[in-house]
Chains A and B, each alone.
Chain A
Amino acid sequence: MWSWVAHRVTGVLIFFFLLVHVLDTALVRVSPEAYNAAIGTYQTPIMGLGEAGLVAAIVFHAFNGIRILLVDFWAQGPRYQKVMLWVVVGLFVVTMAGFLPRHLVNVFTGGH
């Protein structure tokens, strides 16, 4: 049940990010200066944390999406749905453990 709520919330979150993201990318058609100014705001520590949150949302939504697929199409899926939820949580932790340190080092110590 909570996995269903989390799947919904993350889906909507990613959707709204995508609307903004296509608009900011569109600034490459305005001028290099305009694009660099906009993307510069993505490189601040606060936005860096936001990006970490966004990536966490996507990683959960993606792995849980695959779990939904297995429940629907794999004959044994419904039987193992609970186990697979823990697999999703495990994969999530592993993926974030690979991503977070590197991203946070980039965000807090990187720079031009």
Chain B
Amino acid sequence: MNAPDRYERFVVPEGTKKVSYERDTKIVNAASFTVEREDHTIGNIVRMQLHRDPNVLFAGYKLPHPLQYKIVVRIHTTSHSSPTQAYNQAINDLDKELDYLKDAFEAEVSRVGQANQHQGF
């Protein structure tokens, strides 16, 4: 009877920010990003994309607890970049990759669709 609502897993509660950001107090150019209502889907692609950035010294994510619907992404960069810059860059690059993939996939679907029609499928 006291079970939490199912939508709590993916609806950000009112008054809570989707992404919050906290700088490391001891290390320069290091920060943690708390992303509400996200999981391994976003955490892992963002982490792997950050690893492609040579200015990123460390990038990792964790899902602190299966019943806490948030992830924490930690980024440490060189002085040529900053955690926020690297984070934004990673998301922009992933977005562009998906744009490219969508176009490539749609072109391939229409190519195969036409080929299937010729074969009388």
Chain A partners chain B: no
